[in-house]
Each structure stands twice: as structure tokens, then as C-alpha cells.
Amino acid sequence: MALPSIFRKTEIESPADIEAASLRSDRFRLEREVDWQRLELIVLQLEKGRPRRIADEDLLELPVLYRKAASSLAVARETSLDAATLAYLESLVRRAWFQVYGPRSSLFGWLRRFFAGGWSASVRDIWLDICIALAVMVAGTVVGWLLVDRDSEWFYALVPSNFADARRPGASREALLETLQPTENADGLSYFAAALFSNNAGVCIMAFALGFCFGIPTLLLLVHNLALLGAMLWVFSGQDLTWEFAAWLSVHGTTELFAILLSGAAGLHIGRSMAFPGERSILSAASASGRRAAQVMAGCIFMLVIAGLLEGYARQLVGTASARATIGGVMLAFWLLYFILAPRPRDHDEPAIGKGGKR
């Protein structure tokens, strides 16, 4: 009767078997070593940030050489080649993968291109969605005004209780003016600014994320949020404080509302491309529009940080309506000039390496 495997004598490889395995590993390496060395030289130059020192034919061959090295690694693992060859191939394939499929630039380089024109180019690319979102926001403001003007009870349905405080229908002029007064010092304003940023970021993220439902919830969210503004405008206009309220709001509002506009437009851009994909599939249309919209959203977060600082500090410390309106006007002019005049980067729509593009 045969013994169980755990009691069998372990078979010891003979010197001839070891020599055969070594020869097989050497032959495998020699047949492919030229391509490995060529790939390593290309990767080394890219890692040092010297792509100009790489010949065009070598750069175009980078994806092919990477796939050959990955295939060699798979074969080496299957045939249990020597540990040194495996370690070398694993390191080479990992480094080459990063150059072929990884980020095409450093974080600093990406930020430089982003603010130098990449963000503004993406914003200009969704101009139609911005126009639609702007029209919806204006309509929402008008709807909020008309609803409260018809029945003041609508105010309490549109405006959250934490926003209402003294700012409600029937409030006196003095009470409303008191809510627009600056604070005496900046104590505690950092916490206030952080809370405002968190609230506004939530609105923008929701406006963007809901775009995947064909943009309809995004439009409804914009109407609801701007109806609140319309209701507030009605309250202050009733006491002839429209200018004071507009100036108070403009300090941060020109940046904050701009960010909400762009967020809603980015979500609508995705929803519109899914509803009308043309000759593409819905998934491919959503993927293409999603990349552009995501870049717009990245900039919106930056705008919300600025809006939070303006709302938490400048609005609370600057007292006169003219000074507040000046700050708001300067910020609005800055954003408009940036989005309209910033040049489009030459590599804004450049394909990645391995898909016909060149670094």
C-alpha cells in the first residue's frame, strides 16, 4: 500500500536538474534582454524628466516594449525562473506601467496647467450648459420672489429656520439692518468660514452628482436654492434695503453663486450627454463629458474655499455697502476675465501615451 503524501520522502533535485533550470533561465533572459534594456533606458529618462533625450521611435515603442516585458514576467512566473530575473522584471514592469498609464505629470505641473488655462478651457467647453443653468437660477429667484409676494407663508417653506432668524416677513427695518452689520472682531470667524464652506460644498457636490440622473434633479436643486434667495430679496426690498442686502451678499455671493452655477452646469453637462448621446453609447458619452465636468468641479472647490473666506472674514469685517459691493464686483470681474481670456493649453485634449499620443 502506498504511503500518504505527507510520509513520502521529499524528492531532492539532482545537480543535473539544477543546471538545466539555470540554462533555461539564461536562455530565456538572453532572448529578451535587449528589449528589457531598451525599455529600462526609456523609463529611466522619463523618470528623470528628460523626455526630449528619447528618440521618437523609442517613445512610440514604449507601449509595445511594456507589453513584451509584462508578457515575459508572466512566463517567468509560470516557469519558475530564478529569483533575480523575476525581481528584475517585476521592478521594470512596475516602473514602465507608471510611465505608460500613470499620471502624466507631477502634482505641481498639473496645478500649473490647470490654473494657467485648463480649468477655464473646460468651463468654456460647457458654455451651453452654463447658459441653461443660469436661466434656471434666474427663474428660481423670480419664482421665490413671486411665491412669497403672493403668500408670505411660502417664506417659511423656502427658507430654513437657521437662515430666517430676524430676517422674515414683517421684520422692521432696524431689525433687518442689524443682521447686515459687521462683527467687532474676527474671533471665531475661522470656524464660521469652515462651516460655510462645508455647507456650500455640499450644495455644489449635490448639483454635480445629480447630473447623472439626466440632469433633471440638478435643475430642481438650482431652482430650490435660488428660490431661497428670491424670498430673502423680497423681505429686504419691502423695507427699501435692496441695495444694502445686495452689497452684503455680493462680497461672497459673486464667487459662491458662480461656483454653484458651474457645479450645476457640470452636472447638467453629464446629464445632457446621457440624454442625447448621439452616435455614442450612453456610457461612453457619460465618460467623455464626466472628465470635462470633473475638471470644472475641481475648480469649483477652489472657488468655494475663497467664497468661504470672503463670507467668514471680509463680509463680517467690512461695514459699508459700497466697500462690500466693490469687493463683490472685483471678484465677479476677476472670474469673468479669467474664464473668458485665459488661453487654452496646447495639450488640453492631448491623448495619453499608448493611445496614439506623445508626451
Over residues 319-343, mean pLDDT: 93
Look at residue 4 in the predicted model and tell me its pLDDT: 43
Cα gap 223→206, rounded to integer Å: 13
Cα gap 244→142, rounded to integer Å: 19
Q: Give the range among 34-48, 175-189, 219-233, 286-300 with minimum mean pLDDT.
A: 175-189
pTM over 0.85: no
Q: What is the mean pLDDT of the chain?
A: 82
In three-state secondary structure terms, 318 is: coil
pLDDT at position 88 over 90? no
Closest CA to 95 of 46, 163, 161, 154: 46
Cα gap 165→344, rounded to integer Å: 46
> Which residues, 6 or more positions from 70, have their beta carbon under 8 angstroms from its beta carbon?
93, 97
DSSP string, 161-179: HHHHTT-STT--HHHHHHH
pLDDT at position 11 over 50? no
pLDDT band, very low/low/confident/very high, at 16 (cuts 50, 70, 90): low
- 271-274: long-range contacts (C-beta < 8 A, 24 or more apart)? 271/211, 271/212, 271/213, 271/214, 271/215, 271/216, 271/218, 272/129, 272/214, 272/215, 274/212, 274/214
